């Protein structure tokens, strides 16, 4: 796992069975309402197939935790309405968002990947931070 970034941007990266998942997250002040305990974060995921086999993203499983220790789990088919197929060397990028009731939290999870030979594996989504800039945790 690798974490880096500017004060307003947080990154994570993991490689599982030749599939690299990189996430960049940032706070969205335009979609947030701190006075109503609503903070919104945007994250961009890049999935790169560095293996020699074609893979398909079938489903996702996110674990989201806010600063109060409350956890939500999100499961569903594909990402942003797609189940992308990635040949060796190809990548897929998408952006999505996450609301929180606190100015700080974390996300991590897995993508269920199907390999062309019929096998499957869980590609790790390394933990990344959701944080309003200049917030002390």
Tell me what pLDDT residue 103 has.
95
In a domain, 116, yes or no: yes
Q: Considering the domain boundaries, does residue 136 fall inside one?
A: no
pLDDT > 90: what percent of the chain? 88
Cα–Cα distance list, 91 to 18, 50, 87, 95 (Å): 12, 9, 8, 14
4 found inside a domain: no
Q: Could you report the per-residue pLDDT of 7-49, keeping only the tens digit for each?
A: 456 799 999 999 999 999 999 999 999 999 999 999 999 999 9
CATH number where 105 lies: 2.60.40.1470
Residue 48 domain flag: yes
Give residue 40's domain range. Answer: 9-131
For the chain, how long is the longest CA-to-CA vector? 52
**Total domains present in the chain:** 1
Residue 101 lies inside a defined structural domain of this protein: yes
Is residue 24 one of the residues assigned to a domain? yes
58 part of a folded domain: yes
Averaged pLDDT, 110-123: 98
In a domain, 99, yes or no: yes
């Amino acid at each position: 796992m690798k974490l880096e970034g500017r004060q307003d941007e947080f990154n994570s990266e993991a490689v599982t069975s030749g599939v690299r998942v990189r996430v960049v997250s940032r706070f969205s002040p335009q979609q947030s309402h701190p006075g109503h305990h609503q903070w919104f974060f945007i994250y961009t995921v890049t999935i790169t197939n560095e293996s020699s086999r074609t893979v398909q993203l079938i489903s996702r499983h996110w674990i989201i935790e806010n600063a109060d220790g409350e956890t939500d789990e999100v499961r569903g088919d594909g990402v942003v309405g797609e189940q992308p197929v990635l040949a060796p060397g190809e990548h897929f990028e998408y952006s999505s968002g996450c609301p929180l009731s606190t100015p700080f939290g974390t996300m991590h999870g897995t993508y269920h990947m199907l390999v062309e030979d019929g096998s499957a594996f869980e590609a790790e989504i390394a933990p990344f931070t959701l944080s309003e800039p200049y917030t002390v945790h």
